[in-house]
């Protein structure tokens, strides 16, 4: 019986694994002996993942910490030397930096990293230089790099992080794709959640799903909602996601405290419930790798209003599957939200087109097959 090739995935936290790698790991475990290197203390891993792959705890910290980062690097070196993998593949910035350096030192034959958005994109000065240099080091140590969107690939090339033609995407883009069994139009979910909130089926709901941090444009969203709520007293805004920026209290005690019909739902493991019950997703984010939440909402049949940024322009076809407005243009954001609210026929037409595109191009199964084919072709060429 032939031994399966050894494949190591490296990620900073189990949250990223559950959200972006779960389906890939399930698919690839049939053909590869997979080890997952991740900080297991940070968040619980999916039971499905635990059943199919070996897990090696690595003390990777999200924030820059020279001592902890050096410890994590030595842990990865020990793990790689012991397992002698054919391939290592990293996602998330810190995991990518440490894994690619360790793989380069040990001369692991195939070293891959997938960029999923640049934390330095909106930074300035020395911190931007430092974080950008780290991404350049990842690209230098890797044998091949990927992005989760075509526009992000161009951005990394234009910024000199990777050489032109040396970065690509797998499938149509998106790191994970969307689970169509989970994210789908669901009248039962819609009716149930709205009944729980004493909300009629005709009441319009705008939805934000994501980390509550300044970079996600939460302040812009609330300002835009203030503008439209002056003439649409029955419209609602639902905000779903972890308050990682610790700004919810500040928002509730600021000028936004008087806004009615803004509901904070906090963190959830089932965003599809809110997507199925809402009418329009709004994502005024200042940076994204791809904007996976957009295609998840699309798979539930709802269109999106978002800022025109790298990554998001690959997730939305403006005027066909959603609406794009220029970054920080709060008046245009409000106008687009108002247009969506006032024109039900247009909103539903965009939602249907978004659904069709998500199903055709971004199903998680098709993205996983692209990953599987890539590994097969790569190993065939290098064996």
Nearest by Cα to 131 from 68, 62, 70: 62
Phi, psi of 220 (to 5 degrees): -60, -40
SS3 call for 326: coil
Q: What is the tens place of the pLDDT at every residue in 125-161?
A: 999 999 999 999 999 999 999 999 999 999 999 999 9
- Average pLDDT over the chain, rounded to an integer: 91
Q: What is the tens place of the pLDDT at every residue in 172-213?
A: 888 889 999 999 999 999 999 999 988 998 899 999 998 888
Where is pLDDT greater, at 253 or 77?
77
Please report the pLDDT score of residue 349 as a whole number: 97
Please report the pLDDT score of residue 234 as a whole number: 87
Nearest by Cα to 117 from 239, 27, 22, 211: 211
Q: Is the pLDDT of residue 63 over 80?
A: yes
Q: Spell out the domains of the chain, with CATH numbers in brackets.
A: 6-176+364-382 (3.40.50.2000), 187-361 (3.40.50.2000)
For residue 136, what are its two tokens?
Answer: 């350049």
* Cβ atoms within 10 Å of 244's Cβ, excluding its own: 12
pTM equals 0.87
Please report the pLDDT score of residue 272 as a whole number: 94
The distance from CA 188 to its chain's CA centroid, rounded to whole angstroms, is 27
Q: What is the tens place of the pLDDT at every residue in 10-20?
A: 999 888 888 88
Q: Is the pLDDT of residue 84 over 60?
A: yes
Q: Is the pLDDT of residue 90 over 50?
A: yes
Burial 70-89 (b: 16+ CB within 10 A, else e): eebbebbbebbeebebbbbb
C-beta of residue 58 within 8 angstroms of C-beta of residue 72: yes
Least confident residue range of 16-25, 98-107, 126-135, 276-285: 16-25
For residue 21, what are its two tokens?
Answer: 């790698």
Q: What is the tens place of the pLDDT at every residue in 211-262?
A: 888 889 999 999 999 899 888 888 999 999 888 767 777 766 656 655 668 8
Confidence of residue 1 (pLDDT cuts 50, 70, 90): very low
C-beta of residue 285 within 8 angstroms of C-beta of residue 260: no
Task: Could you list the beta-strand ranges (E) of the chain.
Answer: 6-10, 33-38, 54-57, 87-91, 110-115, 144-147, 167-168, 205-209, 236-240, 262-266, 280-283, 304-307, 322-325
Nearest by Cα to 382 from 82, 54, 144, 138: 144
């Amino acid at each position: 019986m032939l031994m399966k090739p050894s494949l190591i995935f490296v990620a900073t936290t189990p949250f990223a694994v559950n959200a972006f790698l779960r389906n890939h790991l399930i698919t690839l475990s049939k053909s590869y002996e997979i080890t997952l290197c991740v900080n297991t203390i940070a968040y619980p891993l999916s039971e499905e993942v635990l059943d199919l792959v070996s897990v090696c705890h690595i003390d990777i910290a999200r924030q820059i910490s020279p001592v902890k980062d050096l410890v994590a690097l030595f842990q990865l070196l020990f793990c790689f030397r012991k397992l002698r993998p054919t391939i290592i593949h990293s996602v998330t910035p810190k995991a990518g930096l440490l894994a690619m350096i360790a793989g380069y030192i040990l001369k692991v034959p195939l070293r891959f990293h997938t960029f999923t958005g640049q934390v330095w994109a909106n930074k300035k000065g020395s911190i931007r230089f430092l974080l950008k240099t780290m991404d350049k080091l990842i690209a230098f140590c890797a044998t091949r790099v990927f992005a989760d969107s075509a526009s992000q690939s161009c951005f990394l090339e234009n910024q000199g992080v990777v050489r032109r033609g040396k970065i690509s995407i797998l499938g149509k883009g998106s790191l994970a794709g969307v689970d169509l069994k989970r994210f789908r139009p669901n009248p039962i979910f819609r009716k149930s959640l709205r009944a729980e909130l004493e909300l009629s089926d005709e009441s319009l709901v705008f939805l934000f799903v994501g980390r509550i941090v300044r970079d996600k444009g939460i302040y812009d969203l609330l300002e835009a909602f203030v503008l439209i709520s002056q003439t649409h007293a029955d419209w609602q805004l639902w905000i779903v996601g972890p308050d990682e920026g610790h700004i919810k209290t500040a928002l509730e005690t600021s000028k936004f405290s008087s806004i009615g019909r803004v509901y904070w739902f906090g963190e959830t493991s089932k965003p599809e419930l809110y997507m199925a019950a809402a009418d329009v997703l709004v994502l005024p984010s200042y940076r994204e790798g791809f904007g996976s939440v957009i295609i998840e909402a699309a798979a539930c049949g709802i269109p999106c209003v978002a800022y025109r940024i790298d990554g998001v322009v690959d997730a939305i076809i403006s005027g066909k599957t959603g609406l794009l407005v220029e970054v920080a243009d709060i008046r245009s954001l409000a106008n687009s939200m108002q247009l969506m609210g006032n024109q039900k026929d247009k909103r539903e037409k965009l939602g249907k087109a978004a659904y069709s595109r998500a199903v055709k191009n971004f199903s998680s199964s098709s993205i996983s097959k692209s990953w599987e084919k890539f590994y097969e072709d790569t190993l065939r060429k290098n064996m």
